[in-house]
Amino acid sequence: MVENKNERGISEEKACQIIRLYSEISQLKKLYRQGWLENGVSEKDCESVADHSFLTASLGYLIANECRPDLNPLKVMELCMVHDLSEVHAGDITPRQKMSEEEKVNVYDGDGEVIARVRFTRNLDSWDGHNWGCGGTGNHEGLTKLKDGRYIIVYSSQFEGNRPYGEIVSKERALHAIMVTDNLDLLDEKRFEELKQMYEEKYSDQEER
């Protein structure tokens, strides 16, 4: 296949990849440093992860350039700039917030009553770089199933004061959540075989050949 290239030799596919990556990284401007929030700093005065990365890179460059002749200042700056990129997906997790897969989450009904407890999960996160399907950077969703066949979406966030919780959803909404977050591999799990059958019945062979 011959790629379309502009005058500078960048293919359209490569240009789109660069734009998607830039859009992904820019989400860090909206993610506040959680340690600051935990210690009472307001969002108005709080540093974002993007602020932190830029200032760390600047400080690293200055120290390497002025105090450490054995180091490459540009390399130090580069490492500092990218050291928190993973937080686009994971959020700015502090030791106080971190949850393991073994921790339990309350599931609530429409009246706010706890009706079940399920394991914490984030298996609906979008790993293509934005997490928009889960509400934006620092927000996460997971899907699980009770023994009685009901589906649960687990919501969690790295933002101050938000505790993970579960909500009962219909099988249609459960399938929709899998699709909008591009996690179709979950349909191969035995517990979600009903959703896989729904998907195949509704969406297979729709395209005209």
All residues at 6 or more sequence positions from 50 whose CB lies less than 8 Å from its CB, including other chains = 26, 28, 29, 31
Delineate the domains of the chain, giving CATH numbers in brackets. Answer: 12-90 (1.10.3210.10), 104-203 (no CATH)
Q: How far apart are CA 161 and CA 152, in angstroms?
A: 22
Q: How far apart are CA 154 and CA 123, in angstroms?
A: 9
Neighbours of 131 (CB within 10 A): 25
* Gap between the Cα atoms of 98 and 84, Å rounded: 16
Using alpha carbons, list the distances in angstroms from residue 196 to 5, 41, 145, 161: 39, 46, 14, 36
Q: What is the pLDDT along the chain (209 residues), one digit of tens a residue?
A: 445 555 667 888 888 888 988 888 888 888 888 778 777 888 888 898 899 999 999 999 999 999 999 999 999 999 999 888 777 766 676 655 555 555 788 898 877 888 898 988 888 876 444 444 454 555 678 999 998 999 999 988 755 456 788 999 999 999 999 998 888 999 999 999 999 999 998 887 666 65
